[in-house]
Structure 1
């Protein structure tokens, strides 16, 4: 990875992220984003420090879904499905999902294959909850990196959020997304693992900004267009390897 490309991409995040969050049609997004990036990691850190476990309460899962639907595409059925979960099951399955990542850190492994296997197992556990598909499971798991890097002094990479915008940036011309685990593990995660930054959620946010700038301005300026071209060149060797699932899955 050319660090210049990575620095330029992260510069896009610095340039646009707060502005795009503030300029959202739903003005609650700014508060939700502060809660997601600051408050919730502190809560998880406290839980981990006291019990060496992390989990989400049902109200926290509901709020994460609110953030997801506010920043991205609104899907009216998902809040009702999340609401239908038993609070005990929310804690049980999120604790198990985070536990896989804690175990991965304890094993002192740091290679793409082992990391991907841990992410897959964590996603499968989170997806046991109603309304939680592969995309939402990655949003839950994206909270783990900041907490575990801080509490374990570990260099764990983030599990970046499986957003529509980032998928489209990384896979131009793919067509309709099916939101499958296979798509994430073959067409999103490997491409983001090409970046050296361990805070992969910042890379996701940078790509989201790039996508939003493209949609808002109609045409990217020279510097941003060059960043987009560089990202496409970096990731084009990982094209369209995921088979489309036979039926639509919950996101």
Structure 2
């Protein structure tokens, strides 16, 4: 079953409806702590990081961001252990380096992926807080809705194409939109319809 496409829509009101459903779709997910972690990530951490100079996250915040990312997606315990094992000073230095190179995607992402347990998706979760106009969170459910990207590859080159597509769509939707909001609207659309598909399959099985 294909996810009903939001990507082809150009009406910002349709996108806004999808974005408005994001908190409810989060609440419908079976993952424990997702509502708590997602609320913290969006509403608590964002203003804290945005107020820092330069914008960066602490070791403790990176660990919790990783927990959020895995809870919203796929849980990988060994990766979380690796992230926890990074030295706080190394996390701080990675943040300083990334902040100096936000206009260079490869260097900004690379500053965080140099840390143990941090791949492009986790790095993007940090940068989405640091610079939401430029860096959406790298999510498979979202990527699968963007026409022309092809099968998801967890690489910087794939992420660059994902970013380019999402930033372009945000620009087309108007000044109220940024890359992070487009990603969330797409995720809500994808997760909502994936859940409806699962319910239909369960009904058939019964």
TM class by shorter chain equals 0.7 to 0.9
1:191 corresponds to: 165
Give ranges in structure 2 of 5+ residues lacking alignment: 1-6, 199-206
Residue 54 of structure 1: how far off its partner (Å): 2.2
CA distance in 1, matches of 2:73, 2:184: 12
Residue among 9, 12, 21 paired with 2:18: 12
TM-score calculated relative to the size of structure 1:
0.68
Distance 1:20 1:161, change over 3 A: same
Please report how far the alpha carbon of residue 181 of structure 1 lies from its aligned counterpart in structure 2 after TM superposition: 0.5
Tell me how far apart the structure 2 counterparts of residues 141 and 173 of structure 1 sit (CA, whole Å): 21
Root mean square deviation, CA, Å:
2.3
Task: Please tell me whether the aligned partners of residues 134 and 167 of structure 2 are also in contact (alpha carbons under 8 angstroms).
Answer: no
Q: How far is the alpha carbon of 1:210 from its aligned partner? A: 1.3
- State the TM-score, normalized to the length of structure 2: 0.82
Specify every segment of 5 or more residues in structure 1 that has no aligned partner in the other structure, as ranges. Answer: 105-117, 147-156, 220-251
Q: Which has the higher contact order (CA 8 A, sep 6+)?
A: 2
- Tell me, yes or no, if structure 1 residue 30 matches structure 2 residue 28: no
CA distance in 2, matches of 1:135, 1:73: 11
Q: Match for residue 119 of structure 2? A: 133
Q: How does 1:1-251 map to 2 (within 5 A)?
A: 4-14=10-20, 16-48=21-53, 53-101=54-102, 104=103, 118-145=104-131, 157-171=133-147, 174-175=150-151, 177-186=152-161, 188-195=162-169, 196=171, 197=174, 198-218=177-197
Q: Distance in 2 between matches of 1:168 and 1:30?
A: 24
What is the aligned length? 187
Q: Which 4+ residue blocks in structure 1 deviate beyond 6 angstroms?
A: none
The CA deviation string for residues 222-248 of structure 1, in whole angstroms up to 9 with x for no partner, is: xxxxxxxxxxxxxxxxxxxxxxxxxxx
